[in-house]
Amino acid sequence: MEILGGPLYAVAGAGESHGPAITTIVFGCPPGFYLRAADIQRYLDRRRPGSNKHGTPRREDDTVAILSGLYQDNIERLTAGPALRLGEGEDAQTTTAYAEGYTTGEPIAAVVLSTAKKSADYAQFTGGQGEVRPGHTDLVKHYKSLGHVDVRGGGRSSYRSTISDVIGGSLARLLLAELFGVAIFSSIVQVGPLQAANRLADHLEALHQQHGGVIPPALLDELETQLLQAEIHTHDAAFARAAGQLIKQTRIDGDSLGAAVEVVAVNVPALAGDPLYQSLKLRIMGSLGGLNAVQGVEVGAGFAVAGRRGSENNDPIRSDGYQRNSHGGLIGGITTGAPLVCRVAFKPTSTIVKPQLSVRKNLEEIDFQLQKGRHDPCVGVRAGVTLESRLAIELLNAVLMHQAQRIDPAQFRLFGGQAGAA
């Protein structure tokens, strides 16, 4: 099952890059939260190619249409979303998507239509004689699907599938913000050979210590604004400029670049996450490390810990909390309340213009030369919102898992004199 998170908060996704739509169902959203489609749209807009200066030049509108799971008695306001029409002429069926309402606790479905399709670009890869793009899923999926894989734009394995991640993650972060004041950020820290000097994690850990574990909303809003205005989505302005230049040049060279991205959550509720086999650490490592194009993932101090001694790595504890954050907010897979800190490494975009050695799907050898198509030269550049989303999904699921173990009989009453009322 194509499901992120779960078993409590879970996001199901479906849809190929150039198929009719990306479909998403979000399960386990507790009832009673007021939600606006616009709140989700904001994060989808960050995900969209063209939303930054260095992504792919394709334009995708990616308007979210919410189809279930919200309610308010003011039906007019509830259904003030965009009109949705199926079929044409007299037989056409029309409805309107939800604009805003309270979560009901039932599944929230959403579709994002895919309209910017140039399928002719993909003739090179079609059929049993189709060419295999190095680094892509073309070959394995051709054989796995018995020849029936959608090659247009990477099919389901396209980054377009992350629309579901972002929808599910947007809902999760809105709830986490309302319940605990959680805020989740990402920052690009490496683009090819260039590395950022300023780390977002350092900045947020300092704020966390300084504000006694609860960073005020105003500071978080300010940080968000700054990140959104940067040349690329990073906390380091000088690095942003240099990286932007390098990306531009690399696109011209017909090549691509790897990247590394930090993800940090602050004002994190403590005690969330199970230990061991379904620990929040395991879940986050999987969810972030499993994202397309990611080849490595770290929590806290990450690979640096391999070179350390225990006396330098153990974080000292005082009555107001951990004094450092080598542990990255998780001990034993359980949140400590310190910032959740992760980093992932993205490989360079596989699609490049430079010639490469490859095969046809029938394994006949070829000199591969991309004929058409436009792509991000650095996939890491717009991946931040997806990483934030996946972190939010796992964190909300962990919160629900912990809450399940704290039973309050008062939550199980219907009529006055009923059992559990005692």
* Contact set for a second copy, span 375-394 (CB under 8 A): 380
Q: Which of residues 220-249 bind a second copy (CB under 8 A)?
A: none
Query: Around 40, how many Cα atoms within 13 Å sit in the side-chain half-sphere?
Result: 29
| Phi, psi (degrees; rounded to nearest 5) at 34 | -85, 125
Of these, 51, 198, 245, 356, which contacts a second copy (CB under 8 A)?
356
Q: Which of residues 332-351 bind a second copy (CB under 8 A)?
A: 332-337, 345-351
Cβ nearer to a second copy, comparing 51 with 403: 403
DSSP-derived secondary structure for 200-243: HHHHHHHHHHHTTT---HHHHHHHHHHHHHSSSS-S-HHHHHHH
Of these, 52, 56, 157, 389, which contacts a second copy (CB under 8 A)?
157
Of these, 174, 230, 264, 268, which contacts a second copy (CB under 8 A)?
268
Please report whether residue 80 would count as binding a second copy according to CB under 8 A. no
Segment near a second copy (CB under 8 A); pick from 48-56, 92-100, 199-207, 228-236: 92-100
Of these, 80, 207, 242, 270, which contacts a second copy (CB under 8 A)?
270
Segment near a second copy (CB under 8 A); pick from 43-51, 221-229, 311-319, 381-389: 311-319
The sign of the dihedral angle between the CA atoms of 359, 365, 370, 371 is negative
Please report whether residue 77 would count as binding a second copy according to CB under 8 A. no
Closest CA to 167 of 323, 16, 62, 296: 62
Closest approach of Cβ 229 to a second copy, in Å? 24
Closest CA to 37 of 101, 107, 114, 105: 101
CB 129 within 8 A of CB 361: yes
Tell me the CA distances in angstroms from 386 to 178, 287, 370, one per residue in order: 20, 10, 27
Cβ nearer to a second copy, comparing 241 with 354: 354
- Contact mark string toward a second copy, 9..38, x via CB under 8 A: -x-xxxxx--xxxxx-x-xx-xxx------
| 100 DSSP assignment | E
Closest approach of Cβ 23 to a second copy, in Å? 4
Please report whether residue 218 would count as binding a second copy according to CB under 8 A. no
Of these, 1, 90, 197, 218, which contacts a second copy (CB under 8 A)?
1
Q: Give the position of tokens 């951990």.
A: 322
Q: Which of residues 99-128 bind a second copy (CB under 8 A)?
A: 101-109, 111, 113-115, 119, 126-127
Please report whether residue 163 would count as binding a second copy according to CB under 8 A. no
Helix (H) or strand (E) holding 84: strand 83-86
Of these, 52, 137, 170, 325, which contacts a second copy (CB under 8 A)?
137
| 130 DSSP assignment | P
Structure tokens that stand for 239 in this block: 């690095």
Please report whether residue 197 would count as binding a second copy according to CB under 8 A. no
Cα distance between residue 300 and residue 290, in whole Å: 18
Rg (CA), the chain: 23
Segment near a second copy (CB under 8 A); pick from 40-48, 144-152, 198-206, 221-229: 144-152
Closest approach of Cβ 76 to a second copy, in Å? 10
Cα distance between residue 332 and residue 313, in whole Å: 15
